[in-house]
Amino acid sequence: MRRGSFQARLLTLMVCALVLLVAATLTAVHVAGNRNLRHTLTDELGVGARVLNRILAARGRQLTDAARVGAADFAFREAIASADRPTITSALTNLGARVDGDAVFLLSLDGSVDADTLGGQFVGRPFFVPSLVAGSQAGAAIVTFDHRPFQLVVVPVLAPQPIAWVCIGFKIDEAVLEDVRRLTALELSLWAADPAAPPLLISTLPQEKRLALGERTADKVAIAETVRLGSDTYQTMLQPIETGDGSAINVLLQRSLEEARGPLRRLELQIFALSSVALLLAIVAAIFFARGVTSPLRRLAEAAQRIGSGDYSALVGVPHDDEIGQLAAAFNRMGTEISAREEQIRHQGSHDSLTGLPNRRLFLDHLATWIASAKRRGTLVGMVMMDLDRFKEINDTLGHSLGDDLLVEMGRRLRQTIRESDTVARLGGDEFAVMFESAAAANAVEIAQRLGRALEAPFTLGGVSIDVKASMGIALYPLHAEDAGTLMKRADIAMYQAKRNHNAYALYESGRDEHSLRRLAIISELRQAVASEALELHFQPKIDIATERAIHAEALVRWRHPVHGMLPPDEFIPLAEQAGDIGIITKWVLKRAIEDCAGWNRAGFDLGVAVNLSALDIYDAGLPALIGALLHDQGLQPSKLVLEITESAVMRDAAYALRILRDVKGRGITLAIDDFGTGYSSLAHLKRLPVDELKIDKSFVVNLSEETLDDGVIVRSTIDLGHNMGLKVVAEGLESSEGFGILKRFGCDMAQGYFISHPIPSPQLLDWMDKSPWGARPGASLST
Partner 1 sequence: MRPLAVFVMLAAARPGAAATTLLVEVRDDKGAAVPNAVVYAVPRARRPPPPSRRAVLDQKNRMFVPHILPIQTGTAVTFPNSDNVRHQVYSFSPAKRFQLPLYAGTPQGPVVFDKPGVVTLGCNIHDQMSAYIVVVDTPYFALTAGGPAELPGLPEGTYDVRVWYEGMRNEPLPQPVSLGAHEQQSLTFRIGKK
Q: Which one of the spans 73-81, 193-201, 501-509, 525-533 is the region binding partner 1 (CB under 8 A)?
A: 73-81
Residue type, 322: D
Write down the least CB distance from residue 69 to partner 1, Å.
12
Residue 76 vs 572, nearer CB to partner 1: 76
Query: Per CB under 8 A, which of residues 94..113 are in contact with partner 1?
Result: none
Nearer to partner 1, 74 or 707 (CB): 74
Tell me which long-range contacts 187-190 makes (C-beta under 8 A, separation of at least 24).
Answer: 187/234, 187/253, 187/254, 187/255, 187/256, 188/48, 188/52, 188/251, 188/252, 188/253, 188/254, 189/213, 189/217, 189/251, 189/252, 189/254, 190/149, 190/241, 190/249, 190/250, 190/251, 190/252
Of 59, 77, 480, 728, the one binding partner 1 (CB under 8 A) is 77
Using alpha carbons, select from 338, 300, 335 the residue that is nearest to residue 319: 300
Number of residues that bind partner 1 (CB under 8 A): 10
- By CB under 8 A, tell whether 724 contacts partner 1: no
DSSP assignment of 721-773: HHHHTT-EEEE-----HHHHHHHHHHT--EEESTTT---EEHHHHHHHHHHST
From candidates 119, 160, 565, 580, binder to partner 1 by CB under 8 A: 160
Smallest gap, in angstroms, from Cβ of residue 116 to partner 1? 21
Q: Which is nearer to partner 1, 161 or 416 (CB)?
A: 161
Please report how close the Cβ of residue 254 comes to partner 1 at its closest, in angstroms: 46
Candidate ranges 155-163, 406-414, 478-486, 693-701; the one touching partner 1 (CB under 8 A): 155-163
Query: Closest distance between partner 1 and the C-beta of residue 189, in Å?
Result: 42
Q: Is 91 in the site for partner 1 (CB under 8 A)?
A: no
Structural contact between residues 612 and 775, judged by C-beta atoms closer than 8 angstroms: no
Should residue 155 be labelled a site residue for partner 1 when binding is judged by CB under 8 A? Answer: no
The DSSP bridge partners found for residue 608 are 552
Instruction: Kindly tell me which of 75 and 684 has the beta carbon lying closer to partner 1.
Output: 75
d(CA 430, CA 388): 6
- Three-state DSSP at 144 gives strand
The least distance separating partner 1 from the CB of residue 163, rounded to whole angstroms, comes to 7
Q: Which of 517, 509, 511, 569 is nearest to 538 (CA)?
A: 569
Contact flag: residue 72 with partner 1 (CB under 8 A): yes
* One-letter amino acid of 81: A
Q: At its nearest, how many Å lie between partner 1 and the CB of residue 107?
A: 17
Residue from 161, 231, 309, 465 binding partner 1 (CB under 8 A): 161
> Which amino acid, one-letter code, is at 294?
T
Q: According to CB under 8 A, which residues from 280 to 339 bind partner 1?
A: none
Q: What are the φ and ψ backbone dihedral angles of 228, each rounded to 5 degrees?
A: -100, 120
Q: Which of 545, 538, 427, 551 is nearest to 491 (CA)?
A: 427
Specify the residue, 76 or 605, whose C-beta has the smaller distance to partner 1.
76
The yes or no reply on residue 511 touching partner 1 (CB under 8 A) is no
| Backbone phi and psi for residue 418, each to the nearest 5 degrees, phi listed first | -95, 170
Q: Is 134 in the site for partner 1 (CB under 8 A)?
A: no
β-strands 670-676, 641-646: how paired? parallel
CA 745 to chain centre: 84
Which C-beta is closer to partner 1: that of 159 or that of 269? 159
Instruction: Specify the residue, 130 or 568, whose C-beta has the smaller distance to partner 1.
Output: 130
Q: Which residues, 548 to 587, sit near partner 1 by CB under 8 A? A: none
Contact between 69 and partner 1 by CB under 8 A: the answer reads no
Among 26, 29, 57, 81, binds partner 1 (CB under 8 A): 81
What one-character-per-residue DSSP string does 353-419 give?
Answer: TTT--B-HHHHHHHHHHHHHHHHHHT-EEEEEEEEETTHHHHHHHH-HHHHHHHHHHHHHHHHHHS-
Closer residue to partner 1 (CB): 57 or 81: 81
Could you say whether residue 78 binds partner 1 (CB under 8 A)? yes
Contacts of 58 (CB under 8 A, 6+ apart): none
Among 17, 69, 159, 277, binds partner 1 (CB under 8 A): 159
DSSP assignment of 411-450, as one string? Answer: HHHHHHHS-TTSEEEEEETTEEEEEEEESSHHHHHHHHHH
Contact between 163 and partner 1 by CB under 8 A: the answer reads: yes
Q: Give the interface segment with partner 1, choosing from 154-162, 486-494, 646-654, 674-682 (CB under 8 A).
A: 154-162
Considering the complex, what minimum distance in angstroms separates the CB of residue 161 from partner 1?
A: 5
Under the binding rule (CB under 8 A), the answer on residue 640 touching partner 1 is: no
Contact stretch for partner 1 (CB under 8 A) within 95-103, 156-164, 241-249, 303-311: 156-164
Q: Rounded to an integer, what distance in angstroms lies between the CA atom of residue 6 and that of residue 184?
A: 57
End-to-end CA distance of the chain: 111
Binding-site member from 74, 219, 376, 421 for partner 1 (CB under 8 A): 74
Q: How far is the CB of 87 from partner 1 (least distance, A)?
A: 13
- How far apart are alpha carbons 37 and 30 in whole angstroms? 10
Cβ(143)–Cβ(245) below 8 Å: yes
Least distance from partner 1 to the Cβ atom of residue 80, Å: 8
Three-state secondary structure call for residue 161: coil
Rule CB under 8 A: is residue 10 a binding residue for partner 1?
A: no
Min CB(136)–partner 1 separation in Å: 11
**158 lies in the binding site for partner 1 (CB under 8 A):** yes
Report which of 242, 232, 238 is spatially closest to residue 253, judged by C-alpha positions: 238
Q: Is there binding between residue 68 and partner 1 (CB under 8 A)?
A: no
Contact residues toward partner 1 (CB under 8 A) are 72, 74, 77-78, 81, 158-161, 163
